[in-house]
Amino acid sequence: MSSASNLEELYLWESNLSGNIPDSISNVSKLRILSLQENSFYGLIPDTLGNLRFLEIFYLWSNHLTTKTSTHEWSFLYSLANCRYLRILDLSFNPLNGILPTSISNLSTSLEQLWVIDCKIRGSIPMEIGSLSKAILLDLSSNKLSGPIPTTIGRLKHLQLLNLYRNKLQGSIPHDLCGLKGLYKLSLGANELDGLLPTCLCDLTSLRYLYLFSNKLHSQIPLSFWSLKDILEVDLSSNNLSGSLPLNIGNLKVLISLNLSRNLLLSDIPSTIGSLQDLQVLNLSRNRLQGPIPKSLGDLMSLKSLDLSNNNLSGVIPKSLEKLYDLNYFNVSFNRLEGEIPSGGPFLNFTAKSFMKNYALCGSPRLQVSPCKNKIHPKFKKTALHALRYVFPTFASIIIVVAVIIVYKKGQRGNMNLATVEDLIPLKKRRRISYNQLLQGTGGFSGNNLLGSGSFGSVYKGILSDGTEVAIKVFNLQIDEAFKSFDTECEVMRIILHRNLVKVVTCCSTIDFKALVLEFMPNGSLEKWLYSCNYVLDILQRINIMIDVASALEYLHLGHPIPIIHCDLKPSNVLLDEDMVAHVGDFGIAKLLGEGDSIKQTMTLATVGYMAPGIFSFF
């Protein structure tokens, strides 16, 4: 090396060299650039490098260099302090170990770039790092650094890139970083940072890339954050950020990638997100977002990946998304979506995984969802829906009333002395079910099985030992009227039996527990089928339901010597079994056995003769 004393640049990178770096290399005293990266050098970095007083660029990355096993001291840094012109130092991907020494402050004040990636260094970042006043780039990522981020980094006024990714740093993000006006990229992801997201981040007007993912940040996203109109990529995923997405998210006009997944964000997705014309990646998965998917997402013509899974989104998947021909990843699974899955554009390539676990999606069998009803012309469909929703219920009610009056009048003329029905099931022949069986069948009366509740009690769904599904009406015995209600209903239910009345399987009564076990109706109430856009009844089904209800009323009024008047007939009290046969019942979600409802649900079935609606005002 002594013969090359006038050499200024030495490039030996990726040359399959191994062994120790010879001390004699320091004899090339005029060397400005020394490039030894991507070899197999091992051992210590020579302490004699300080003789290279003109050294400006020193690359050692991707070797096997270490420090002294006993002390793990970086003694070579003291020597490099003599290299007053050193601008770039890259020690990355060497198992140096040890602690980043305070002597780092002795490096050249001309140092612009310091790369120490994946060198297995531990301990804290020394406060003295703030002495590197000319630093433009500082990358200490993928190490084992702990403790807080030094506030002295805020002194590095020329810094454009700060990368502390994948360490074990703790504490909050220092507000001092907001003074780095030239910062272009800030990467603090995969640490243990907590506290609030600094409101002063909006001062970093040069920022283009912000990565704070996989920390423990727990504030709301400051409203001022959305004023970073020139930012390109934002990743705040896997934190505990809360609050809502504001309308001014649309200010980030040049944004390419936005990842807010795995947080606690609430509210709707703002429609202004459709103004992010350059957006390629949008990930809002695993939050608590609700409301519809904005149609304006169909305006994101550059979008390649869209993940909205694991939220509480409802409504339909907008057909406007069919225009996104560059979209190659789409996931809306685990939401409450309904309606037809779009079939055009990129949707031709998506699989069932994109749509699984939703409320009522329908579409192609290959997507493992229910088939949609026959398609109707949109204008006709809209008109028909309005007719079915507003006109038909009124029309149906009129028909039911007329039918009841006709049947009642007919019964008065020809059946005044109708004999008692002989085929009733005696109470002693009803099935006997113990309290323990009900306890087991409802999972200990778990809230997950609760169908409805009121001031007199609650209704639970249960499964008996033979697999029979039942509805269990449990009375609240802390209320005096509940005892009378239970006794009255048991007596009335004992004497009625009809295919269009909800069947009482049995009752269960102890000193401190009273319940009725009723037939379970898997298709819910008629109200759901009439007023929800997710369920459809054809004209034949509607007529059959009207006939079923009229038949039940005829039986209640004329089926035995004592007429029974329901007095609260409405769609929510008409229940449908698995074959869509209607059964008149007296319980409903959130109305069962309420104080006012005890008249409608207990006395209504037990009242002799006619009870006018006005009588309710006296109770």
pLDDT tens across 159-175, in order? 999 999 999 999 999 99
- Give Rg (Cα) of the chain: 38
State the catalytic residue, choosing from 203, 235, 307, 568: 568
Domains and CATH numbers, the chain: 382-618 (1.10.510.10)
Whether residue 158 contacts residue 184, with contact meaning beta carbons closer than 8 Å, is answered with: no
pLDDT tens across 208-237, in order? 999 999 999 998 999 999 999 999 999 999
Whole-structure pTM value = 0.62
Round to whole Å and give the CA distance between 276 and 306: 13
pLDDT tens across 556-593, in order? 788 766 677 767 778 877 888 988 999 887 643 223 33
Angle, CA of 78, 92 and 12, to the nearest 5°: 90
- The mean pLDDT of 150-162, rounded to a whole number, is 96
Query: Per-residue confidence at 112, pLDDT binned at 50, 70, 90?
Result: very high
Round to whole Å and give the CA distance between 206 and 208: 6
CA dihedral 130, 131, 134, 140 (to 10 degrees): -50
pLDDT at 484: 64
| Annotation marks residue 235 as catalytic | no
pLDDT tens across 118-143, in order? 999 999 999 999 999 999 999 999 99
Round to whole Å and give the CA distance between 573 and 286: 38
pLDDT at 482: 66
pLDDT at 475: 81
Statement: residue 493 has pLDDT above 70: no
DSSP 215: S
- Three-class HEC string of 354-415: HCCCCCEEECCHHHCCECCCCCCCHHHHHHHHHHHHHHHHHHHHHHHHHHHHHHHHHHHHHC
Query: Range with the lowest mean pLDDT among 79-83, 349-353, 374-378, 481-485?
Result: 374-378
Query: Range with the lowest mean pLDDT among 21-25, 328-332, 374-378?
Result: 374-378
pLDDT tens across 504-541, in order? 888 888 877 888 888 888 888 888 888 877 788 888 88
pLDDT at 607: 37
Query: Per-residue confidence at 438, pLDDT binned at 50, 70, 90?
Result: confident
Query: Per-residue confidence at 417, pLDDT binned at 50, 70, 90?
Result: very low
473 assigned ligand-binding residue:
yes
